Amino acid sequence: MRVLDTAALLHWPLPQLSGCVVFSQREELANLSSDREMLLDGADLQWSTPSANSLERASKVAAKSGDLGGLSPVDLEILALALELEATLVTDDYRLQNCCLVAGIKHQPVLTDGISERWQWQLVCSGCGAISNEQNVSKKRGEYGNCGDCGSPYNIRKK
Ligand SMILES: [Zn+2]
C-alpha cells in the first residue's frame, strides 16, 4: 500500500500510477498541468480523504519534526492518509520524508534516476572527513546537515 504525492501524479507514467491519493491533490494537479489531470481517470488510483483524527496525528508528527510550518494543507492530508493506512509515502519532499522518519512509516522517492538506486551514497564531512552513519541519504543537495564532530557541512559521495 502506498500514498502518492502530487509530484508522482505529475511525473510517473500512467501504467505505474497506482496507489492512494487525497481529493485535494486533484485541484493541485489541475493547477500544475490540466492535461495531466485529465489523464488521471485512466489511472489505478484510490481517492480518499483522511479522517480528522489522522489529520491531527499528522499535525502532531509535523510539529514534532519541526516541519509543520513548511507543509501545505495538501501535504498534511497526504501525510495523514499515509499514517492512517500505514502506507509507504511516495515523495521527494524532504519535509514529508522527515515526517515519515519521525512517525516510523516508510517513504520512497518519486524520481529515481537509476543512478541512486544502483549506487549507495554516504555523507562525508567536508572538514574532518568523518563519515555519517545516516542511512537515508535522500535530502536535497545542501541540506545534508553538519558534522557532529567538527560542525562542517557534509558532502555526499558514492560508497
Ligand atoms: Zn567533521
Starting at the earlier edge strand, list the strands of the sheet with 18-22.
44-48, 18-22, 2-4, 88-90, 107-108
Decide if 23 contacts 47 (C-beta within 8 A). yes
Whole-number Å distance, alpha carbon 122 to ligand 1 midpoint, is 14
Span from the CA of 61 to the centroid of ligand 1 (angstroms) = 30
How many domains does the chain contain in total?
2
Q: For residues 47 and 103, state if they share a domain.
A: yes
How far apart are the CA of 49 and the centre of ligand 1, in A? 45
* Residue range 65-102, pLDDT digits in tens: 999 988 999 999 999 999 999 999 999 888 999 999 99
For ligand 1, the distance from its centroid to the CA atom of residue 130, given in whole angstroms, is: 5
Q: Which residue has the cell 519521525?
A: 102
pTM exceeding 0.85: no
User: Quick one: pLDDT at residue 76?
Assistant: 97
Here the CATH number for the domain that contains residue 42 is: 3.40.50.1010
For residue 153, the CA-to-ligand 1 centroid distance in Å is: 8
Contacts of 35 (CB under 8 A, 6+ apart): none
Containing structural domain, residue 118? 112-159
